[in-house]
């Protein structure tokens, strides 16, 4: 099953809050999980990525938590800022495949001042 | 180093016309991916090309859509006889030649196609 399910569809938090976006997958052959950030009118940009042999990865205010047994992973944004308001996509890549990205449906985040 | 370039940024076509979308990858990148983003949806893989070769076209509609990446010049996504359902944002991404486990894909700004 080559799907990645993402939730919630939209999220509103106050400045300083910690929005959490969740993704789930079925295919255990996925072995690379990037998160992309997209601003209106722009293309997606890689934010942070993780491999399934790691349970957590932090880059600045962004953290990925990975639960291999549950086949779930999530993005946490610490001390969120209005400039973080964007659409966030989780994605997955199949092992040994062509590198094509299988995207989740996206989460639109609004951080209120 | 310029990023991935796509043109036009906006394209309006009437039903039945042809749409040609261009993508110039980043310098040194020889792999190109095309994705489509329908309104209120995530991005869907369409096709993966290397110079002069289509590697994976599993996401391409069977009819009216074609893609190429010639030895010289940009990659082209061509949609013949467009229909309203083709209205979407089309994104191109490029990555460097292989060798690593996974090469990051760098996305262009997209072409927004509107079919009247």
Is B1 a residue whose pLDDT tops 70?
no
* Tokens representing residue B13 in the block: 């076509």
Is B99 a residue whose pLDDT tops 60?
no
Question: What is the C-alpha separation between B90 and B32, in angstroms, rounded?
Answer: 13
- Minimum Cα–Cα distance from A41: chain B residue: B109
Contacts of A34 in chain B (CB under 8 A): 104
CB distance B109–A101 less than 8 Å? no
Distance between A77 CA and the closest CA of chain B, angstroms = 20
CB distance A103–B42 less than 8 Å? yes
Is A75 a residue whose pLDDT tops 60?
yes
For chain B, give the percent of residues with pLDDT over 70. 95
- Minimum Cα–Cα distance from A3: chain B residue: B44
Distance between B41 CA and the closest CA of chain A, angstroms = 6
Grade residue A1 by pLDDT with cuts at 50, 70 and 90.
Answer: low
CB distance B59–A100 less than 8 Å? yes
CA-nearest of A100, A104, A12, A79 to B105 is: A100
For chain B, list residues whose CB is within 8 angstroms of any CB belonging to chain A.
Answer: 4, 31, 33, 35, 41-45, 48, 55-56, 59, 91, 93, 95, 101-110
CA-nearest of A8, A38, A43 to A22 is: A8
Q: For residues B25 and B43, is the Cβ–Cβ distance under 8 A?
A: no
Grade residue B87 by pLDDT with cuts at 50, 70 and 90.
Answer: very high
For chain A, give the percent of residues with pLDDT over 90. 83
Question: What is the C-alpha separation between A100 and A90, in angstroms, rounded?
Answer: 13
Question: What is the C-alpha separation between B35 and B41, in angstroms, rounded?
Answer: 12
Distance between A113 CA and the closest CA of chain B, angstroms = 25
Question: What is the C-alpha separation between B68 and B50, in angstroms, rounded?
Answer: 9
Integer angstrom CA distances of residue A59 from A56, A67, A86, B65:
10, 18, 18, 39
CA-nearest of B82, B60, B43, B63 to A36 is: B43
* Tokens representing residue A107 in the block: 């989460």
Distance between A104 CA and the closest CA of chain B, angstroms = 6
């Amino acid at each position: 099953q080559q799907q990645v399910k993402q939730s919630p569809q939209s999220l509103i938090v106050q400045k300083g809050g910690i929005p959490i976006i969740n993704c789930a997958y079925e295919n255990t052959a996925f072995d690379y999980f990037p998160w992309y950030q997209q601003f209106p009118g722009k293309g997606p940009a890689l934010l942070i990525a993780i491999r399934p042999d790691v349970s957590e990865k932090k880059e600045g205010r962004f953290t990925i938590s990975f639960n291999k047994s549950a086949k779930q992973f999530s993005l946490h944004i610490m001390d969120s800022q209005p400039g973080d308001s964007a659409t966030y996509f989780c994605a997955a890549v199949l092992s040994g495949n062509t590198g094509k990205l299988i995207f989740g449906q996206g989460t639109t985040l609004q951080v209120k001042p | 180093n310029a990023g991935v370039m796509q043109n036009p940024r906006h394209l309006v076509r009437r039903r039945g016309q042809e749409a040609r979308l261009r993508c110039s990858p980043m310098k040194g990148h020889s792999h190109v991916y095309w994705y489509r983003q329908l309104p209120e949806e995530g991005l869907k893989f369409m096709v993966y090309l290397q110079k002069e070769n289509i590697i994976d076209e599993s996401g391409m509609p069977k009819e009216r859509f074609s893609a190429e990446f010639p030895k010289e010049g940009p990659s082209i996504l061509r949609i013949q006889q467009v229909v309203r359902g083709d209205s979407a944002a089309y994104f191109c991404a490029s990555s460097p030649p292989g060798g690593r486990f996974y090469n990051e894909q760098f996305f262009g700004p997209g072409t927004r196609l509107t079919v009247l």
